[in-house]
Every structure is written in C-alpha cells, then in structure tokens.
Amino acid sequence: MKRKDAHVLQSIFIMALTAWFLMSGSIGSAAEGGVKYMPRGSFMQSWMMENWTEADWEKEIKAMKELGMDIIILQGTVDTKNNKAIYATQMPGYQGRKGSKDMVEATFRQAKKHGMKVMLGLNWNDDWWKLYSSDSQWLNGEMEKGNRVADDLKKIFIEKYPQQFYGWYWQWEIDNYFHQKQENWENLSKAISISCNYLHKLTPGKPVMICPFANPDLGKPNDYGKLWNYVVAHSDMAAGDILCPQDGLGGEVLTTDNFTDWFKMYKQAVSQKPGLLLWSDLETFGKDYRRASIGRIQKQIENVQPYVTGIILFSYNHYQGPHNAPAGFHQTWLEYLRTGKVETVPPTTPKGLKVTKQKDGKMYLSWNASTDNRGILGYKLYRDGKLIKDIQIPEKLEYVDDTFKDLKKAEYRVAAYDFAGNSSLASQAFYPGK
C-alpha cells in the first residue's frame, strides 16, 4: 500500500531515529572483557506466568536485568481461531481474562515497576500450519484482525503504559519449505504490508519484529534468500523494523558451525532497505526441549555477532531463568557475560554406577551424584558407546533401559555435565558384571 507523501516523510524521519536508537542500544553494557552484544530480551508465554506471585516476578526480572536484558516479548495475546485473549479484551465476540489472569496487564505493570520494556505479540491462528501463505484471502483477513487487536491493545495498555511499550511481534512464522512460489512471496509481502502499514501509523516509531525459521533438510540458504530478497523489496517493512530469524539450534537442525550460513543470507536481504535491522532469535534449548548449556549459547552469541545488531532469546525464562532452573545456570551465564569466558571446571565423576536386570528384562541403572563448582545440569547415559539418555536436573539418579531386552551383555557408562557444558569423566559398569 502506498502512503501519502507527508506521511512518508514523517515516517522516514521517525523510523530513522528509531533505527539509530535500536542499533546503538543493542550493544550491551558488558564489563571490560565481556560480551559485545548482550541479549536484549526474552520471549515469555502467558501459561508460564499466569500463576506467578510478586516474588516470582521480582526474582525473574531481577535476573534478566542482571544479564543486561530490558525487553519482555509477550507471545500470543489473541487466538483468532478460538476467539480467546490473554487479557481483558474489549473486542466483541472474544473471551478475555480479568484480574490476576490478565497477562498483558501483569506484564506491563511489572515492566513499569522494574524499568523494562514490552514487545507485544499480535494475533495467532493455528490454521497457519495448514494454509500458510497459499490462501491470500484468509491470510489478509488475519492481518486485518491483527490490526483490530493492535487497536484494542493500544487503547487498553499502550496509552496507559506509553513508556513501557517497545514494539510489535508479528507472530506468523515463515519457513523455507511452504512458501517457495512467487505467488507465496506476493501473498506474504501483501500480508506483511497490511500489518506494517497500519502499525506504523498506529504507533509511530515503534518497530515490527518478524521471526522466520529455516530447516536445512528442506532447502538451502540461497533458495530461501530469494524469498527474503523479494519480501524485503516488496513489503512495507521499514527502517527500524526488525527481521529476527530463529537460529535453528533449538531443534538441532542447525549447528553452531553452520547456522551463520543462513544469517549471511538474511543480512544480504536486509541490506536492500536502509535502516531495516537484523537481530538473532537465539534458541536456548536443544532436541527434546532440553536446556542448552552456556557453552553452547556462548558459541551462538559469538558466531552470529558479525551479522546482527541485536539478540533476543527463546527463551531464557523457559529454560535457564530462576523460575525454571537452578541458580547455577544464571550464575554461569552472568560470569560469561561479564568476562567473555565460560568457566571450564568439570564435574567430578559420578561414582557407584550399578546395573541390575529386572524380571521384565529391562535394565535398572543407578549411580551417585557428581559435584561441581556451579552445579550439575545433567547426566548422559551410554550403552556400548551410544548415547541412550540425556537426563537434566533429575529428581532421582536412576534410569530404566527398556531397550535392553534382546541383548545378552552390555557396557554402560554415565557422565555428568554442568551448566557451562563441561563434562566429567565417565564411570563404567557391565552386564553381566565382571
């Protein structure tokens, strides 16, 4: 959509100032020798916080601020498929939440109390995973619904908390498989323009952030780059808006060694539009939603720095924050951000590994706890040299191997690892015993 000339000039001026602020503000205030780009913020989902007490909020936000974070990205404010909102919406036909269950109010209130900013997610509809960008009428309709959600959020919260509002999170996750035709690119460009055009006018100077992802098994960076070159050129993403790709380490489809091949592509696409920003959506988890070690996160942060001007996390709060993880995680991360180094002291070897065959043919394993200067994140169990289980923050130091039944003998090993990713030497046991 074309803007009137006066609005274009005004937007260019405002967005240029925003771009300068965002780019300069993305460099963290790390101590000398520390990390150049500190993560700016973290995604938080309403289901995690809905029963938090004041003390829970206090502890979590204090930890975020210690790590240099100043933005809460609140994901999923309205489900436009089921007409449900996570706040006391004023939109007719939508079911909202009131009082302590109003997650948008709670987030803004805590942000004001603790000097944080809030980036608001807009609407979402799970039919995206069936229709993607193939049905332009449906997709454009969802964008218009998102604009109504933005109206609602502005009236209720942004006008009440103007200093805490940072910008908008556009929730539709674009990938490198279901959007390969030019028709898809055109539909995406139109949909993004419907959102960006409206949001830029509704809240001038506030960025819109888009977080796509890629699977290397389904395409190559150069092929995906054609989509983003087209979308950047043909959509109304503007100076100050943020392309913030998921880095792909969460599902372990990409590695710390090859994920930057995709960021080279994103950077080239973003460079077409002056002032458009490129950030990284750094995934702090691994396969089966295991917590990533700080050693792995260090590689993600440092390897992506040549390509981006900011980093956010999905999600410190879900995987490493004090509400969901032992304090040693935060301590290890804080030490890294302050010094630029991850501690290297390994845990002690877990002693006393015992293996006992049960009547049902399964093998029961138990062992004694390891110790570490920061604490133990987990234990890795191996059978005949192959990893069979990675147990994090276990309540009991035991495991039942139910895949043993057809074996007559086996060698088992168990090794501990800490929050930094340092691994102990492994203890060993055999069945039958020697």
Residue 306 belongs to some domain of the structure: yes
**Residue 22 phi, psi dihedral angles, 5° rounding:** -65, -40
Residue 125 Cα distances to 24, 141, 172, angstroms = 35, 11, 9
Q: Which amino acid is at 409?
A: K
Predicted confidence (pLDDT) at residue 345 exceeds the cutoff of 70: yes
The mean pLDDT of 13-42, rounded to a whole number, is 52
Tokens linked to 322: 């004090």
Q: Are 79 and 141 in contact (CB under 8 A)?
A: no
Tell whether 266 and 375 lie within a shared domain.
no
Could you please report the per-residue DSSP string of 260-325? HHHHHHHHHHHTTSTT-EEEEEEE-B-GGGPBPPHHHHHHHHHHHTTT-SEEEEE-HHHHTSTTTS
> Which pLDDT score is estimated for 51?
93
Could you say which of 275, 310, 339 is where a domain stops? 339
The beta-strand segments (E) located in 58-186 are 71-75, 78-79, 84-85, 117-121, 123-124, 165-170
Residue 242 belongs to some domain of the structure: yes
Q: What is the mean pLDDT of the chain?
A: 91
Residue 268 belongs to some domain of the structure: yes
Cα dihedral 90, 95, 100, 101, rounded to 10, equals -130
Confidence class of residue 32 from pLDDT cuts 50, 70 and 90? very low
> Which pLDDT score is estimated for 33?
55
Q: How far apart are CA 99 and CA 115, in angstroms?
A: 22
Predicted confidence (pLDDT) at residue 21 exceeds the cutoff of 70: no
Chain segment 120-176, per-residue pLDDT in tens: 999 999 999 999 999 999 999 999 999 999 999 999 999 999 999 999 999 999 999
> Which pLDDT score is estimated for 22?
39
Tell whether 96 and 164 lie within a shared domain.
yes
- 119-154 in b/e burial notation, b at 16+ Cβ within 10 A? bbbbbbbeebeeebbeebebbeebbebbbbbbebbb
> Which pLDDT score is estimated for 34?
61
> Which pLDDT score is estimated for 160?
98
Confidence class of residue 20 from pLDDT cuts 50, 70 and 90? very low
Predicted confidence (pLDDT) at residue 37 exceeds the cutoff of 90: no
Predicted confidence (pLDDT) at residue 73 exceeds the cutoff of 70: yes
Name the DSSP letter for residue 216. Answer: G
Q: Are 237 and 210 in contact (CB under 8 A)?
A: yes
The mean pLDDT of 11-24, rounded to a whole number, is 38
> Which pLDDT score is estimated for 35?
66
Residue 349 belongs to some domain of the structure: no
Tell whether 80 and 181 lie within a shared domain.
yes
> Which pLDDT score is estimated for 251?
86
The mean pLDDT of 407-433, rounded to a whole number, is 95
> Which pLDDT score is estimated for 404?
76
Residues β-bridged to residue 280: 311
Residue 423 belongs to some domain of the structure: yes
> Which pLDDT score is estimated for 407?
78
> Which pLDDT score is estimated for 101?
92
**CATH number for the domain harbouring residue 273:** 3.20.20.80
Q: How far apart are CA 266 and CA 44, in angstroms?
A: 25
Tell whether 251 and 301 lie within a shared domain.
yes
**CATH number for the domain harbouring residue 420:** 2.60.40.10
User: What is the tally of structural domains in the chain?
Assistant: 2
> Which pLDDT score is estimated for 38?
84
Tell whether 184 and 273 lie within a shared domain.
yes
Could you say which of 280, 314, 339 is where a domain stops? 339
Q: How far apart are CA 287 and CA 248, in angstroms?
A: 11
Q: How far apart are CA 390 and CA 89, in angstroms?
A: 43
Residues β-bridged to residue 364: 356, 400
Higher pLDDT, 208 or 24: 208
Q: How far apart are CA 175 and CA 361, in angstroms?
A: 44
Could you say which of 288, 304, 339 is where a domain stops? 339
SS3 210: strand
Residue keyed to tokens 């996390």: 313
Confidence class of residue 433 from pLDDT cuts 50, 70 and 90? confident
Confidence class of residue 361 from pLDDT cuts 50, 70 and 90? confident
Residue 346 belongs to some domain of the structure: no
Tell whether 211 and 68 lie within a shared domain.
yes
Tell whether 167 and 292 lie within a shared domain.
yes
Q: Crossing angle of helices 260-270/294-304, nearest 10°?
A: 40
Tell whether 175 and 273 lie within a shared domain.
yes
Residue 284 Cα distances to 15, 76, 139, 250, angstroms = 31, 19, 30, 7
Tell whether 335 and 367 lie within a shared domain.
no
Residue 219 belongs to some domain of the structure: yes
Residue 347 belongs to some domain of the structure: no
Q: Are 328 and 419 in contact (CB under 8 A)?
A: yes
Tell whether 136 and 171 lie within a shared domain.
yes
Confidence class of residue 301 from pLDDT cuts 50, 70 and 90? very high
> Which pLDDT score is estimated for 31?
42
pLDDT over 70, % of the chain: 91
Confidence class of residue 408 from pLDDT cuts 50, 70 and 90? confident
Residues β-bridged to residue 313: 42, 282
> Which pLDDT score is estimated for 11?
37
Structural domain harbouring 370: 354-431
> Which pLDDT score is estimated for 323?
94
Tell whether 109 and 219 lie within a shared domain.
yes
Of 87-91, 110-114, 310-314, 336-340, the least confident: 336-340
Could you please report the per-residue DSSP string of 388-413? EEEEES-SSSEEEETT-TT-S-EEEE
> Which pLDDT score is estimated for 4?
33
> Which pLDDT score is estimated for 77?
97
Tell whether 118 and 36 lie within a shared domain.
yes
